[in-house]
């Protein structure tokens, strides 16, 4: 028996961050978060449940994976197998963005894997809420990639009610995220370790106390397409997360010189030249430069002038996870 399906998912950028977990097994976060799906940061994954295999076979970007990444995927498939078929799988996955660029591939990766794994079964497809739950069990931020456009992940109280919900579709607002690849060096501290360090950080209670108000304000700014309010909030949020990272034990200093140069430049473009632009950051050195579509050519020109030849990935609000018949195997 062979059962096959393919799914495509976008990555997402958090506007308010998931950083710190209440439950490490199921990736239940300490707080709600809000994100935008990234149209050009895409993972396509084909899953074949195949009882002729003796073990899982996992291929990422054209390479057979036998290291820790493969173990993580097999453990994840074990959880699905515990509830459904007890069959090995062949998983073939391709990213649209180059590997090792620091763009979160676990969000698009586990959203596409969850959708393809269930679609390949001879079972009724889980609804979006259930699929979001399954994606989150693979990687927390993946639960937000089940939906398109602007998404909220409601932390909930545990595995059952910690799910992402759509806030507004991809056409709601022509917001752009220009991802500037400042450095391709591997991270010194993985985001899994980062979540652990953050969860017991002495500043965390102060962060948690102010997050509900910031989350509400971010959702309001998205609803009203209010860029200047959103920009101020997301910069504060990103810097607060990095303040926790920098002051953690061990400390995670993700900024590179190019990161700092771009953050200063963005402030100057906005405050001195009146260009409506703002930044956010993930757990890494790359800068996500946000602006509305009409200002994107000007912002791109300025990025290129500041860092000639730098790679920039221009994203619009991306679509929800979807199935395709273009199988990778």
CA-nearest of 191, 170, 134 to 37 is 170
Q: In angstroms, what is the minimal distance from the CB of 155 to ligand DP6?
A: 11
CA–CA gap between residue 11 and residue 72 (Å, rounded): 18
Q: Whats the size of the chain, residue-wise?
A: 329
**Complex with ligand DP6: residue 75 or 301, whichever CB lies closer:** 75
Q: In angstroms, what is the minimal distance from the CB of 287 to ligand DP6?
A: 14
Q: In angstroms, what is the minimal distance from the CB of 24 to ligand DP6?
A: 8
Which stretches of the chain bind ligand DP6, using CB under 6 A? 14, 17-19, 27, 33, 104, 106, 139-141, 191-192, 195, 282-283
> Please, how many CA atoms are within 13 Å of residue 211, restricted to the half-sphere of its CB?
24
**Complex with ligand DP6: residue 190 or 324, whichever CB lies closer:** 190
Distance of CA 260 to the CA centre of its chain: 22
Q: In angstroms, what is the minimal distance from the CB of 91 to ligand DP6?
A: 17
Paired sense of beta strands 2-16 and 312-315, if any = unpaired
Q: In angstroms, what is the minimal distance from the CB of 226 to ligand DP6?
A: 21
**Complex with ligand DP6: residue 120 or 281, whichever CB lies closer:** 281
Q: In angstroms, what is the minimal distance from the CB of 306 to ligand DP6?
A: 24
**Complex with ligand DP6: residue 23 or 294, whichever CB lies closer:** 23
CA angle 58, 79, 18 (to 5 degrees): 90
**Complex with ligand DP6: residue 199 or 229, whichever CB lies closer:** 199
What is residue 327's three-state secondary structure? coil
**Cβ–Cβ < 8 Å for 77, 56:** yes
CA–CA gap between residue 12 and residue 317 (Å, rounded): 9
Q: In angstroms, what is the minimal distance from the CB of 67 to ligand DP6?
A: 16
DSSP annotation string for 78-127 = HHHHHHS----EEEEEEESS-TTSS--HHHHHHHHHHHHHHHTSSSPPP-
**Complex with ligand DP6: residue 212 or 293, whichever CB lies closer:** 212
CA-nearest of 111, 104, 103, 115 to 145 is 111
**Complex with ligand DP6: residue 104 or 114, whichever CB lies closer:** 104
């Amino acid at each position: 028996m062979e059962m096959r399906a393919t799914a495509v998912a976008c990555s997402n950028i958090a506007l308010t961050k998931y950083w710190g977990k209440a439950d490490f097994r199921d990736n239940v976060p300490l707080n709600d978060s809000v994100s935008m799906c990234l149209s050009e940061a895409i993972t396509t994954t084909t899953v074949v449940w195949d009882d002729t295999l003796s073990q899982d076979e996992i291929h990422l970007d054209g390479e057979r994976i036998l290291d820790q990444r493969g173990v993580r995927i097999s453990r994840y498939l074990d959880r699905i197998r515990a509830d459904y078929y007890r069959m090995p799988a062949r998983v073939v996955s391709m990213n649209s963005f180059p590997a090792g660029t620091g763009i979160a591939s676990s969000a698009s990766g586990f959203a596409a894997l969850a959708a393809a794994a269930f679609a390949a079964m001879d079972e009724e497809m889980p609804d979006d809420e259930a699929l979001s739950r399954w994606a989150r069990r693979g990687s927390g931020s993946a639960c937000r990639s089940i939906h398109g456009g602007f998404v909220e992940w409601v932390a909930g109280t545990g595995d059952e009610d910690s799910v992402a919900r759509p806030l507004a579709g991809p056409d709601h607002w022509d917001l752009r995220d220009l991802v500037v690849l400042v450095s391709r060096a591997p991270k010194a501290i993985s985001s899994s370790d980062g979540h652990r360090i953050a969860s017991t950080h002495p500043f965390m209670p102060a962060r948690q106390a102010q997050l509900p108000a910031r989350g509400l304000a971010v959702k309001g700014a998205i609803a009203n397409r209010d860029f200047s309010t959103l920009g101020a909030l997301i910069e504060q949020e990103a810097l607060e997360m990095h303040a926790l990272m920098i002051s953690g034990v061990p400390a995670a200093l993700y900024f590179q010189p190019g990161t700092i140069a771009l953050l200063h430049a963005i402030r100057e473009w906005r405050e001195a030249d009146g260009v409506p632009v703002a930044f956010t950051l993930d757990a890494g050195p790359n800068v996500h430069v946000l602006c509305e579509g009409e200002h994107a050519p000007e912002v791109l020109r300025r990025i290129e002038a500041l860092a000639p030849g730098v790679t920039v990935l221009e994203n619009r609000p991306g679509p929800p996870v979807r199935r395709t018949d273009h199988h990778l195997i």
